Amino acid sequence: MLNQNLITYNKSEHRLPSGEISPATKKIIDKLVDHGFEAYLVGGAVRDLLLGLHPKDFDIATDATPEDIKRIFKGKCRIIGRRFRLAHIYMGNSIYEVATFRGSDPGDRVVKQGQIIRDNVFGTVDQDAIRRDFSCNALYYDMHEETILDFAAGVHDLKKGELKLIGNPNKRFIEDPVRMLRAVRFHAKLGLALTDSMRQDIINNRHHLHKVPTARLFDEAVKMFHCGNMEIAYYALSELQLFNILLPVAAKIANQQEQWHDFLIQAFRNTDHRLKNGLSVTPVFLTACVMWLEFIPIYHTLLDKGTNSHDALHEATTLVMTNQRDYLMIPKAIQNGIRQMWTLQLRFKKMSGKGVYSTLHHPRFRAAYDFLLLRNLSNSELSQQAEFWTNIQNMSPEGIKSLIFGKKVKRQKINYEL
């Protein structure tokens, strides 16, 4: 392994808190090394530990091939992927990703119009490093020597607080356009600055995102939604003209109407707040919030044509999801969750009778309730509903029964329009 750009940092220099590395990760690396292979903790986990963060995933890089890894970890390993073959090792309830060093020589690599379609060329650790996207991800931690191998000045860039792409942007962004979205996510999540030149390179190459499978783009969008600083990411996505590639209708509406811009910002802030406080999040919620901007005008157009509110809701939801397929392929399970959240917005209007119980115990109640509160911020007409569904959650069963059945409610026709 000869690389003139390699910088090696010893324990006293890097001070990486190795105690935070999961025992299973150490066990996997030890076993690979015992079988005569190189193996390192790599990429995001090393980066995050150096930044004082607490990584959830611990990826491993090795010169063992996927078949070698499967042979070593009999019954605990599964080889996945066609574009990039990887090994998943199962330890307890966790999955650990082990990747073979990528090489630079031609071989089992398919490139179409500059974009890498398949790449299973294996090589050495220094070749693997220059194939990675950003300098801060080309860091390898040797657990036995307790050293960090830095092939692209990643430690320097982290100290400087800048995100640096490895290689020629006009080549690397075409090879894998998703790197542009990853750049925004790392900028928002890690606070690493995007240089002016990288910003311009992203704008110049943004159209290549149209070549990426829409299912993969949705996965990247969800990672962005849950990066912990989606408000910052949103402003960067808008500035770099990426948001309108992922969600063109929502981007146009938010850009033209301040009310809906503010709605999105508050939705992003709510999710960021939940993540910072260790609360659970679901991709259904923010996807529903963003798609709501496109849903509302379609829904009201159908109402104007005489469609009843229930049918209009379901027809508009279907149209929105169909229209979005060309940009982000939203999985059926998430589509169903969004439909349920939006349907509950109609049911929230009914605040008496047995229907209150079924609404209160609906599996999507919490997400739908949070969505109602979000809508209430820009629509004061929803304040009565918001107050009712807030108060009822803190009542005893007897109190709920008394509230909805204890006094005669004057029968009136409820307007179920949103």
Give the active site residues. Answer: 57, 59, 133
Cα separation values, 160 from 14, 157, 173, Å: 15, 5, 23
The strand pairing partners of 87, in sequence order, are 79, 98
Q: Are 21 and 146 in contact (CB under 8 A)?
A: no
Burial of 407 (0-12, 13-18, 19+ CB in 10 A): exposed
Query: How many of the other CB atoms lie within 10 Å of CB of 352?
Result: 15
Q: Are 288 and 324 in contact (CB under 8 A)?
A: no
Residue indicated by tokens 């990039």:
84
Between CA 231 and CA 235 the distance in angstroms is 7
- The amino acid present at 329, given as its one-letter code, is M
Of 62, 73, 93, 198, the closest CA to residue 135 belongs to 198
DSSP assigned state of 210 = G
- The amino acid present at 358, given as its one-letter code, is S
Residues 6+ positions from 234 with CB-CB distance below 8 Å: 243, 264, 265, 268
Q: Are 233 and 184 in contact (CB under 8 A)?
A: yes
